[in-house]
Amino acid sequence: MTQSNDTTRVFIPLTQRRRNGRPCILPPEPGTHFQSRSQDPHILRALGRAWAWRRQLETGEAATIHDIAEAEKVTDRFVSRMLRLAYLSPDVLERLVVSRDPPSVSVIDLIEAVNLPWAEQMGRVFEDRH
């Protein structure tokens, strides 16, 4: 299996201990920097799918949204709506993916925020934190 250059690796500091003779994986200690950087997994998954689908269209791996929908076994409308997330402003994407700041809106509202100019997206997505 070949590895592409656009692979993202995630490091989660876990500890392995033995309990009752069996291995047990312990999550990071509460209060660590890692713990404070939690993000809704639905948001991250939606962003990941949107960027993967955008890449498929740009590279020609998929010719149309319909091709992606058939491959994923979802509707064309779903792909079309989710694909909009790949066009969020770079500042919003950085706060969502790199800083892991949770947005103050749902995935559906995040999709609607794409229709705003980039300068206004930050205020809509992170209303109570900006």
Query: Which pTM value belongs to this model?
Result: 0.65
Q: Does the pLDDT of residue 124 top 70, yes or no?
A: yes
pLDDT: which is higher, 93 or 9: 93
Q: Does the pLDDT of residue 40 top 90, yes or no?
A: no
Residue 20: the pLDDT is: 74
Where does residue 85 rank: exposed (0-12), middle (13-18), buried (19+ CB within 10 A)? Answer: buried
Helices (H), 19-84: 33-36, 41-59, 65-72, 76-83
pLDDT: which is higher, 50 or 97: 50
User: Could you tell me which residues are beta bridge partners of residue 16?
Assistant: 25
Residue 87: the pLDDT is: 93
Please give the Cα distance from 39 to 87 (Å, whole number): 19
Of the candidates 76, 97, 77, 102, the one whose C-alpha atom is nearest the C-alpha of residue 86 is 97
Q: What token pair was written down for 117?
A: 């100019």
Q: Does the pLDDT of residue 130 top 70, yes or no?
A: no
* Average pLDDT, integer, range 3-16: 69
* Average pLDDT, integer, range 49-61: 94
Residue 62: the pLDDT is: 94
Question: Between the CA of residue 103 and those of 90, 96, 129, what are the distances in Å?
Answer: 15, 7, 9
Confidence class for position 30, pLDDT limits 50, 70, 90: low
Residue 10: the pLDDT is: 66
